[in-house]
Chains A and B, each alone.
Chain A
C-alpha cells in the first residue's frame, strides 16, 4: 500500500469575511510529483503556506509523514525542503553564507563540503563567495533549490518555482525536478500556473478553484477520461467526412480547419478511423491528437 506523505482534510482559511480557502482536501503519496493547480486567487499559495505552517488554518487537518502538523510541527518541517514563491535570501551575505544560515536551522548536521557539493549541483560553483545583491533571478532560484536540498529532505514543496525564469531556466528546473524524483526518489509537491509543466512532470494532481478541491487523481487517468481533439490530414476531406457519417461518427466532426479534419473522439477510436480511411483509398498524411491539460483545466474551472 502506498504511503501517504501529505493528507490535507477539509482545509479552511478565512481572513475575517474573506474566504481564502473554503474546503481543500488532497493526498500526496511517497514518490509522487504532485501537481497543485488552480487559477489565480484559487487558494493555492494559502494552502501551501498552511502546509508549511506559515499560516494558521481556520479549520481542517493537515497530516504529514503520519503526524499532525499542529502537534508535530518540527518533526515534519525537518523532513521538508521548500521554496515559497520567490527564493529570497539575505542580500548582504554571500551565497555560501546564506546556505549555511538555513542549513544550520535544518535540524541536521550539514558540513562545509556538503554546502560546496550542493552549490556545484545547482551550477553555482565559482559564485559561492558573491553577495546575493548581484545575483539574477535565475541564480537565486538555483540557490533556492540548493537551500531546499541541503538537508536531504524527503519531501520538496515548490510553489511556482519557474515564475520569472527564462525558457532555459524553466527547462533546467523541470529537469531538476525529474532528477529529484527519478534519481533521488524524492516526493515533490509542485504548484504552478504553467499547466504544460504539470502535464509533463506530475504523475498525480489536484485542481482547486475558489478555495475548493475540484478534482484530484492520476494525471494520465484524469486526462484519458477526456475526449481528444484529433486533427487528421487527408488528401480528400469530403470523402473522409462522408466515411465518418457512414460510420455514425458525424457527431464527432468538429470542423474543417486549414485542410485538416478536426474530430472529438476517444483515444481508442483513432486506430479505427485511420484504418477506415486507408481501407477506402484515402491517403492519411498525419494524425495529431491534442489532449491538453489546459483544455481540461479550463473546462473544469469554467464548469
Chain B
C-alpha cells in the first residue's frame, strides 16, 4: 500500500502545473547566465583574475564548462529552495486546501505511510530539479564553453583543480547540495503539516531560510554560539569538495548537522500529521 501511495504522489506531482515552474525557472535562469557568460564572460574572468595577474600567468580555456557549472551551482543553490518549497510546501496543506485530504485519510493506509509517500515524492522532485540544474550547467555549459581546469577563488586564495580531477568533485558536490535541498523539502513538508493553505508553508520556509541566513552572517558574539548549528550555515557544504585538500571534518560536521535537522523535522511532521484533526 505504501508504494501505491508513493506512486500516487508521483502522479500528482507530475500532473500539477506548479511542478513545472521550477524546471522552467531553472531553464530560464541558467539560460540567461549561459548567454551572459557567452557575451561578457571573458571580461568577468579578467575582473576576477586581475589581482593575481602580477604574480601569475593564466593560460588555456579558463572560461570553460566546469567554471560555468561551478558559478551556476553557487548562484542557484540560494534560489532553488524557493522552487523546491513551491512543491513540497504544498504536499500536505494543498490536500487540505483542496479538500482531498478528507478522502485521502479515510483510506486504509496509515497517516505515517501517507506522509512518507509524500516525502519520498518530494525528495524525488528535489532530485529532478537538481539533476536538471546539473544537466543545464554541466552538459549545456560544456557544450557551449568547452572543458578545462577549474579555477576556484576562496578565502585562502586561488585554487586550480585539474580537469580530470573534477568528475568526482562535482558528483559529491551535487550529492551534498541534494542533501541541503532535501533539508529544505523536509522543512517545508513539516510546515505543510501545520497549515491548511499552500502559501503559508512556502512563505514560512523562505522566511526561516532568510532569517537563519541573516543570523548566520551577523558578526555578533551571542549569535556566533548558535551559528554552527543553523542548517543554513551548512547549505554551502558542497563547496568544500572544490577545496584542496578536502576539509573532511568540516564536510562530516555539515552532513551531521543537516541529517540531524532532517531527522528532527521528520519526527515533528509525523507527530503533527498523526495527531491532526481534519476539520477542513
Chain A residues within 8 Å of B, Cβ to Cβ:
15, 49, 52-56, 73-78, 80, 82, 84-86, 88-93, 97, 101-102, 104-107, 147
Contact = CB atoms under 8 A, between A and B. Distances in A.
Interface in B226-280: 275, 277-279
B157 interface: no
Given A49-B278, A54-B278, A89-B100, 14 more contacts: A49-B102, A52-B105, A54-B105, A55-B277, A77-B108, A82-B106, A84-B106, A85-B99, A89-B98, A90-B12, A92-B15, A93-B11, A107-B107, A107-B109
Contacts, number: 85
Interface stretch (B1-9, B57-65, B165-173): B1-9
A147 B106 contact: no
B100 A105 contact: no
Contacts of B1: 105, 107
Given A54-B105, A86-B99, A105 B278 contact: no
Most buried by B among A55, A97, A101, A147: A101
Contact of A74 (B7, B15, B109, B279): B109
Interface in B81-96: none
A75 B108 contact: yes
Q: What is the interface of chain A mostly: helix, strand, loop, or mixed? A: loop
A89 B7 CA distance: 17
A92 B17 contact: yes
A106 B107 contact: yes
Contacts of B11: 93, 97, 101
A171 B242 CA distance: 71
B104 interface: yes
Contacts of B100: 88-90
A82 B278 CA distance: 15
Given A84-B103, A89-B100, A107 B108 contact: yes
A106 B108 contact: yes
A97 B15 CA distance: 10
A109 B11 CA distance: 18
Nearest to B106: A52
B110 interface: yes
B15 A93 contact: yes
B98 A105 contact: no
Contacts of B279: 49, 55
Nearest to B114: A105
A86 B99 CA distance: 8
Nearest to B117: A105
Contact of A56 (B106, B109, B110, B275): B275
B110 A53 contact: no
Interface in B1-59: 1, 4-5, 7-8, 11-12, 15-17
B251 to A, nearest CB: 41
B17 A54 contact: no
Interface of B: 1, 4-5, 7-8, 11-12, 15-17, 98-100, 102-110, 275, 277-279
Contacts of B106: 52-54, 77, 80, 82, 84
16 contacts: A53-B105, A53-B106, A77-B107, A78-B108, A88-B98, A88-B100, A88-B103, A89-B98, A90-B15, A92-B16, A92-B17, A93-B11, A93-B12, A101-B8, A101-B12, A107-B108
Contacts of A90: 12, 15, 98, 100
Contacts of A88: 98-100, 102-103
Given A56-B275, A101-B11, A85 B102 contact: yes
B137 to A, nearest CB: 30
A102 B11 CA distance: 12
Contacts of A105: 1, 4-5, 8, 104, 107-109
Contacts of A107: 1, 107-109
Contacts of A15: 277
B108 A84 contact: no
Contacts of A102: 103-104, 107
Contact of B277 (A56, A85, A86, A101): A56
A42 B100 CA distance: 24
B136 to A, nearest CB: 26
A25 B109 CA distance: 27
A53 B4 CA distance: 21
B277 A104 contact: no
Contacts of A86: 99
Contacts of A80: 106
Nearest to B107: A105
Contacts of A101: 8, 11-12
Contacts of A52: 105-106
Of listed A73, A76, A90, A97, residue having the most chain B CB within 10 A: A90
Contacts of B278: 49, 54-55
A49 B277 CA distance: 9
B243 to A, nearest CB: 45
Given A54-B278, A74-B109, A77-B107, A104 B8 contact: yes
Contacts of B12: 90, 93, 101
A97 B14 CA distance: 13
A196 B151 CA distance: 80
Contacts of A76: 108
Contacts of B8: 101, 104-105
Nearest to A148: B103
